[in-house]
Structure 1
Amino acid sequence: MRNEVGTLVLRVVLGITFLVHGLQKFQTIDGISGWFQSIGLPSFMAYAVTGIEILGGIGLIIGFGTRIISLFIAAIMVGAIVKVKLSAGFLGNGQMAGWELDLALLAVAVHLLIGGSYMFSLDGFLKRDSQSGISEAA
């Protein structure tokens, strides 16, 4: 029970974090798109990342698609570390933040990817509902 409460906290906090970051990116999406191009990524990736952050953040908060969303968030974090932050070092270089926070967010996403999170979640509700339907039919 305590593990599931801890996982619930991780899921909701990760969801809020990505929802807020996605909304911030959305407000300046043209600039973000240009920045993606400046680091050698196609501009459409800015829209994809922003969409994943906003929709994925909402999904994590309500607990819908937790594992698949966590996979996408983990991929975004690996990309951010490798493509943007790695050269700045773990704690940063005075010009740019390091990749320590990105690593922590990656670890949370991997935790949710491996175990899911069913407490107070739409995934848990659907899982219980489908299991009760199977047992009633048997």
Structure 2
Amino acid sequence: MINKEGIGVLLLRVVLGIIFIGHGTQKFQGGIANTAGWFDSIGLPGFLAYIVASIEVVGGIALIIGLGTRIFGGIFVLLLVGAIIKVQLAAGFIGGYAYDLALLVISAYLLLNGSKLYSVDKYLFKSKNELTSQS
């Protein structure tokens, strides 16, 4: 039997991971010092650029393989709330925070529900019910 919900969540998890890897690597490839300068210019400490870019890349990879899905979902919720409030809100909905809001909702879903299909978490954190049903 096909697990449509599991496949849907897997798609959300993998695509969100790819998007965050893209955003993180763009910060590094564009010159992380430039990104740090931009953070300074909007009133955030420049060193946060290094932290944010690293979290985006590492968290994106973790989401793709399904490792710490709920944890990284929560971290991405925090990052996106910060991005919306500090940067995107002033630009309005369209051309501003609409995209980040969609990513925020996907991240919140993963935080609340996780994603077990084809995930490392599924194999690392098997419940007692799963272990006894396999015996």
Using structure 2 for the length normalisation, give the TM-score.
Answer: 0.91
Mapped pair 1:117 → 2:120: no
Aligned partner of 2:14 in structure 1 is: 12
SS of the aligned residue for 1:40 comes to coil
SS of the aligned residue for 1:81 comes to helix
d(CA) in 2 for partners of 1:133, 1:16: 30
Deviations 1:76-111 (A, max 9, x none): 11011000010110013xxxxx11000000000000
d(CA) in 2 for partners of 1:33, 1:101: 22
Runs ≥4 residues deviating over 3 A: 130-135
Long gaps (5+) in structure 1: 93-97
Long gaps (5+) in structure 2: none
SS of the aligned residue for 2:93 comes to coil
Mapped pair 1:34 → 2:32: no
- What is the Cα deviation at residue 134 of structure 1? 6.3
Aligned partner of 1:107 in structure 2 is: 105
Using structure 1 for the length normalisation, give the TM-score.
Answer: 0.89
Aligned partner of 1:81 in structure 2 is: 84
Report the RMSD for the aligned CA atoms in angstroms: 1.7
- What is the Cα deviation at residue 39 of structure 1? 0.3
- What is the Cα deviation at residue 44 of structure 1? 1.1
Residue type at the aligned position of 1:79: G
How many matched pairs?
130
Bigger mean CA offset, 119-128 vs 81-90: 119-128
Residue type at the aligned position of 1:17: I
d(CA) in 1 for partners of 2:121, 2:130: 15
